[in-house]
Amino acid sequence: MGFLVRLATTAIALWITTLIVPGVEVTGRNAADTALTLVVVALIFGVVNAVLKPIIKVLGCVFYLLTFGLFAFVVNALLFLFTNWIAQGLQLPFHVEGFGAAFWGAIVVAVVSWLISTVVPERREGR
């Protein structure tokens, strides 16, 4: 259940990002097509972050330390661009227009996801 909540949260955050950030867009034929695209892109974004981000943090730890963590913004933007590249490869109607849009898009997705997660916390199964 937690996976579906995170997936929906990321999809909503991506949708809000397309409304706020110029250069990040979904061009679906209708609302259902757009929603499906956002869910698939959210899944891709989640997998990219889950697989690549820990590797990049280990390999680039010196840059994180030297920049007091600000290098994370660059990494997040590059992962957002990589998500765009995969979506384009799958011929999804999702497009990010360059590094600037990816930079701000990644920030908006992170902030909106965090805000949604504070309102709708994941339900934990009793242990």
CA Rg, the chain, in Å?
15
**Domain assignment of residue 10, yes or no:** yes
Domain tally, the chain: 1
The residue with greater pLDDT, 60 or 112, is: 112
If one counts every other C-beta atom within 10 angstroms of the C-beta of residue 122, the result is 12
**Domain assignment of residue 125, yes or no:** no
Determine the structural domain holding residue 38 and report its residue range: 2-119
**Domain assignment of residue 7, yes or no:** yes
pTM: 0.84
Find out whether 64 and 94 touch, Cβ atoms under 8 Å: no
**Domain assignment of residue 20, yes or no:** yes
**Domain assignment of residue 12, yes or no:** yes
Average pLDDT over residues 77-91: 93
Read off the tokens for 67.
């920049």
Find out whether 29 and 64 touch, Cβ atoms under 8 Å: no
**Domain assignment of residue 126, yes or no:** no
Does residue 83 surpass a pLDDT of 90?
yes
Residues 6+ apart with CB under 8 A from 72: 64
**Domain assignment of residue 127, yes or no:** no
Does residue 72 surpass a pLDDT of 90?
no
**Domain assignment of residue 74, yes or no:** yes
**Where does the pLDDT of residue 29 fall: very low under 50, low under 70, confident under 90, or very high at 90 and above?**
confident
